[in-house]
């Protein structure tokens, strides 16, 4: 049923990994794959955002990336040295965004989906870009939200970077408080923060799997994956780029550079939006994705 609650979380075998995923809407509609960002689980895509996309005519799939939530954690791989990462040394990276992009396409294959609209936020937007680059035949359209084509374009403000380097939470209640601390810094200054929802996602994410080492492996993957600008210039898939004008974590130059690199892409810069998805901007984002899909 379109707009229904998600099916219960399931797992799909993708190579040596298992990826946890949920779906919304009718399997007969065009597939839309949602890719979440650094350290964030599929829960960070709000249920109502997903059901709204389903109501717009999509079969929506959200999933946990490797190393977070209920998907496989690479516990046998040492965590990168955070000090080296902060210095830009990614020699300890266990994998790259290319591997995470292949995970996403592997999930589509496991679900017998040939092609999908690919939507990602933050690191997920970088993974979505990489999906389109590596697997254009599987990409109906690309929507890159609050992302950048290269780690050095649109770097974080010192305060935004600092808040992400806080020690990991010790329990679920602290996880809820920590999520609030983070989003009070990186969230949208012109829109109210849904504190109850943010804390709830923080607590539930802790329950599903807190893994600081996995987060470091994801962070290393971003830095190790280099600059996608040249590859994005060769893309021939319909593309949409959305960015908050007030984003302190991936500043707006990241979105502008992404759009400039992709021929024919549409850029939407949302005033007052930071590094989150405030409810008030959902209609803008969903309508833009639907329009892109219709034109595609």
- Per-residue pLDDT, averaged over 64-68, amounts to 98
Nearest to 62 by CA among 132, 16, 130, 111: 111
pLDDT one-digit tens code per residue, 218-262: 999 999 999 999 999 999 999 999 999 999 999 999 999 999 999
What pLDDT is attached to residue 8? 61
What is the average pLDDT value for the chain, to the nearest integer? 95
Confidence of residue 58 (pLDDT cuts 50, 70, 90): very high
User: Which is more confidently placed, 115 or 166?
Assistant: 115
What pLDDT is attached to residue 154? 97
User: Which is more confidently placed, 83 or 119?
Assistant: 119
- Report whether pLDDT(3) > 90: no
- Report whether pLDDT(99) > 60: yes
| Separation between Cα atoms, residue 244 and residue 250, nearest integer Å | 9
Cα-trace Rg, the chain: 17
The pTM assigned to this predicted structure is 0.96
| Separation between Cα atoms, residue 94 and residue 243, nearest integer Å | 29
- Report whether pLDDT(61) > 50: yes
35, 127 in Cβ contact below 8 A?
yes
- Report whether pLDDT(94) > 70: yes
- Report whether pLDDT(71) > 70: yes
182, 160 in Cβ contact below 8 A?
no
Give the phi and the psi of residue 37 in degrees, each rounded to 5.
Answer: -95, -170
Confidence of residue 200 (pLDDT cuts 50, 70, 90): very high
The residues, any chain, with a CB within 8 Å of residue 285's CB and separated by 6 or more, are: 145, 242, 277
- Report whether pLDDT(2) > 50: no
Confidence of residue 1 (pLDDT cuts 50, 70, 90): very low
The class (CATH top level) of 10-155+212-295 is: alpha beta
The residues, any chain, with a CB within 8 Å of residue 106's CB and separated by 6 or more, are: 12, 14, 15, 17, 19
pLDDT one-digit tens code per residue, 122-175: 999 999 999 999 999 999 999 999 999 999 999 999 999 998 888 899 999 999
């Amino acid at each position: 049923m379109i707009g229904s609650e998600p099916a219960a979380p399931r797992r799909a075998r993708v190579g040596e990994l298992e990826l946890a995923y949920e779906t919304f809407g009718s399997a007969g509609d065009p597939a839309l794959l949602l890719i979440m960002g650094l350290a964030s689980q599929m829960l960070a895509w709000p249920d109502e955002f997903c059901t709204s996309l389903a109501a717009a005519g999509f079969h929506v799939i959200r999933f946990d990336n490797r190393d977070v939530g209920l998907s496989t954690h690479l516990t046998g791989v040492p965590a990168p040295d955070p000090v080296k990462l902060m210095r830009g040394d990614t020699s300890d990276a266990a994998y790259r965004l290319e591997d995470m992009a292949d995970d996403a396409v592997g999930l589509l294959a496991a679900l017998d989906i040939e092609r999908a609209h690919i939507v990602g936020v933050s690191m997920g937007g970088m993974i979505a870009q990489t999906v389109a680059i590596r697997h254009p035949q599987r990409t109906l359209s690309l929507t890159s939200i609050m992302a950048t084509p290269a780690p050095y374009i649109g770097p974080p403000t010192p305060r935004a970077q600092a808040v992400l380097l806080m020690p990991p939470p010790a329990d679920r209640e602290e996880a809820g408080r920590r999520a609030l601390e983070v989003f009070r810094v990186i969230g949208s200054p012109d829109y109210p923060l849904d504190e109850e929802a943010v804390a709830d996602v923080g607590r539930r994410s802790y329950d599903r799997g807190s893994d600081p080492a996995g987060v470091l492996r994801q962070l290393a993957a971003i830095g190790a994956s280099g600059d996608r600008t040249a590859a994005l210039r060769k893309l021939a898939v319909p593309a949409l780029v959305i960015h908050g004008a007030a984003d302190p974590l991936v500043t707006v130059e990241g979105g502008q550079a992404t759009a400039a690199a992709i021929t024919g892409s549409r850029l939407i810069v949302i005033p007052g939006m930071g590094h989150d998805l405030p409810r008030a901007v959902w209609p803008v984002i969903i309508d833009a994705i639907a329009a892109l899909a219709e034109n595609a």
